[in-house]
Chains A and B, each alone.
Chain A
Amino acid sequence: MHSFRGFLLKEFYHIFRDRRTAAILFGMPLIQLLLFGFAIRNEIQEINLGIYDQSHDAVTREITDKLASSGYFVMTQELHSTKEIEHAFAEGSIAEAIVFEPGFAARMIREGRSNVQVLTDGSNPNISKIITGYTSSVLQDYRNTALKTSEVGVEAVPLMMFNPELKSVNLFVPGLMALILMLVSALMTSISITREKESGTMEVLLVSSLRPVEIIIGKVVPYFLLSFVNVVTVVALASFVFGVPCRGSVLLLMLESLLFIVTALSLGIFISTITSSQQVAMMISLAGLLLPTILLSGFIFPVASMPLPLRMISNLIPAKWYLIIVRGIMLKGTSFGYIWKETLVLALMATVLMAASIKKFKTRL
């Protein structure tokens, strides 16, 4: 017990004597969350719109006005031919072109329907879909109000649960929390053991009376306490700066976040035990975790829309489970009863990784 305590203290000293790294460990999550929380959004403003009106009647003018005053679009230019559309897209001066067929209003009266062609750039499908969505909602709005007919048939009344204003920040900030916490924690521990191996101080540890269990746990604990500070920072920022609600229990949120940190730290330690070079350890924990965590955890792209093999792989990403938990607690206000499964998965991952690290830890050089 004595030796373990001494070992713990040593680890703490190491961390705080390296001022630059300590500053980075505390400051970077803060800066990154602030930066991305404000910058990563899905709402688009000021869409440059070009109109190719082949009809020039009252209806098309009304629709054009409605689009202009919707707040989403900026009327950039009037187009007069397909060639002009081509040119505008190639230059990048418009993001969307709307084409009204000739005789728009007349056809509407005669046949009860008319065509509007909505052309988006397409080279960025994300934006294209969002822009098309905005456009259809404006057009539908026009149809329902300006055409002054009562709603016939079945009318759908949508109720947006948990996020009534559809703010993308509510989706992204929890995701950012998961991403940043995961990367920082895994990075911190992944080099701890390899650094000792490289600098030769591992020999000293091995000849001491410390058992592998104690060494591994002794390395995780200081970073765990550090990360606790990061968790508090991150949750506070999410609530107070970005206004993400916390409808569930804050205590539960904290505990789950700590569990996530333990999982991430264990992953880092595991990486640390399987290689003897700092370079390799860092490359694995960064290059191997960055893109998979961003893409497969449900941070931006919903897991449900991925093909089956990817959905299965995403189950291996701790951030995915944590995201479900965080979004559940913060946005839906769920109690533990709804998220015990995900909590169990995280706890299991942490245990398995720790056990694997202890087994892998070689007591011989």
Chain B
Amino acid sequence: MRTIWFLVQKEFLQIFRNRGMLPIIIIMPFIQLVILSNAATFDIKQVPLHLQDRDRSILSEKLVKRFTAGDYFRLTGYSFSDRESIGELLCRNADLVLVIPHDFERDLTTSGHAKVQLMINAEDGFSAGVIQAYASEIIRTFNREELPKSGVNATVQAPPEIDIISSGWYNPELEYTHYMVPGILVILVTLIGLFLSGMNVVREREIGTIDQINVTPIKRYQFITGKLVPFWIIGLAEMSIGLLIARLIFHVPMLGGYWLIYLVSAIFMLVVLGMGLFISTITETQQQAMFVAWFFMVIFTLMSGLFTAIESMPHWAQTMTLFNPVRHFVDIMRRVMLKGSGLLEFREQLLWLIGYAVVMVTLAVNRYRKVAV
């Protein structure tokens, strides 16, 4: 036991003496957490709108006013040719072109029906859908409110409206930050943990100090434990500070129990560190260790279900995400914080994490040999 204590002390000393690394592991994650959590939103406001009003009648102006009056659209220009309009779309001055044809008012007052064209920049299919929804809503309101006033069609019955009231069961405001902050926190802690532990043993091997340890009577488990504990403590400390930031700055609700988060974090850190140490034992240079860690980190991040939904992935990819510890942890965090779930509700994910932790640490212990390989 005393050996482990000494090893832990040594590791801590080395970490804190490394002046370059300190700001990176202590300050950078939290700066990123605070700044980046605000970035993840699909709420589109002030969509640049280009107008092609070929009618320029009273009714068409009323319609245009409804578009520009609210917060959704912002008029950036107008023209009378398709070529110009499309040019505006191409150079990104506009994401929506509203084309009102020449006989707009006349058609409306005589037949009660007129068409307008919405040219939408659909690079981002989802945003395009949102823009279309905004525009359709404005037009529907125009139909409902403006047309009767202008004496259009007292005779033809408007079709019944289906009013959709949508809300979220948890997180009723559909606040993105409540969802993103725990996830980003997990990713940052994973990044730091994985890289620190991944480079650790390799570094010792590269600079030669590993041989000095190997000639001591230290046992394998003592060595690994001595490497795990310091980073484990650092990881949990970062987790705590991150949770504090989440509560204080972002007001992320905490419907579940804190002890649950800590329990799962403890297990999760074991997974991450075990993985890092294992990588450390199978590579020869810090560079290689870094690349391997990077490879897995990018996969873990993009397939964690944080940025794109796991449900959107093809089935084989969904199965793959079962092997992504970040996915399980993000899921558990969300459930505990936003839904107030208890241990029973996420036992499946927890089992995955525990299994993963056991496998990783065992592999790391096994691979470490006291003879130069």
A residues apposed to B, CB below 8 Å = 18, 20-21, 24-25, 28, 31-32, 35-36, 38-47, 85-86, 89-92, 95, 97, 108-109, 112-130, 132-133, 135-136, 139-140, 142-144, 147, 149-168, 170-172, 179-180, 183, 187, 191, 195, 275-280, 282-284, 286-288, 290-292, 294-296, 300-302, 304-307, 310, 313-314, 324, 327-328, 331-332, 334, 338
Contacts and interface: CB of A to CB of B under 8 A. Distances in A.
A112 B161 CA distance: 6
A161 B121 contact: yes
26 contacts: A20-B284, A31-B295, A32-B298, A38-B313, A39-B320, A40-B302, A42-B126, A45-B312, A114-B162, A119-B169, A120-B168, A125-B168, A130-B126, A143-B161, A152-B159, A153-B112, A160-B120, A161-B86, A163-B122, A166-B126, A187-B294, A279-B21, A282-B199, A284-B24, A288-B24, A302-B42
Nearest to A190: B290
B195 A154 contact: no
A13 B161 CA distance: 71
B75 interface: no
B38, B47, B308: residue with the most chain A Cβ atoms closer than 10 Å: B308
A74 to B, nearest CB: 11
Interface residues of B, number: 119
A305 B291 contact: no
B9 interface: no
Contacts of B113: 150-153, 155
Given A287-B192, A288-B28, 9 more contacts: A35-B317, A36-B302, A89-B339, A109-B160, A122-B174, A125-B168, A152-B159, A159-B117, A283-B195
Contacts of A332: 89-90, 123
A97 B41 CA distance: 23
B90 A328 contact: yes
B36 A291 contact: yes
Interface of B: 18, 20-21, 24-25, 28-29, 32, 35-36, 38-47, 63, 86, 89-92, 95, 108, 112-130, 132-133, 135-136, 139, 142-143, 147, 152-153, 156-172, 174-176, 179, 184, 187-188, 191-192, 195, 199, 203, 283-288, 290-292, 294-295, 297-299, 301-303, 305, 307-309, 311-314, 317, 320, 334-335, 338-339, 341, 345
B166 A166 contact: no
A113 B169 contact: no
Contacts of A331: 123
A122 B170 contact: yes
B154 to A, nearest CB: 11
Contacts of B124: 171, 302
B85 to A, nearest CB: 10
A96 to B, nearest CB: 9
A150 B112 CA distance: 10
Contact of B171 (A125, A276, A300, A310): A125
A44 B311 contact: yes
B163 A116 contact: yes
B307 A157 contact: no
B158 to A, nearest CB: 5
Contact of B125 (A127, A167, A280): A167
Interface centre among A92, A288, A300 (most CB of B within 10 A): A300
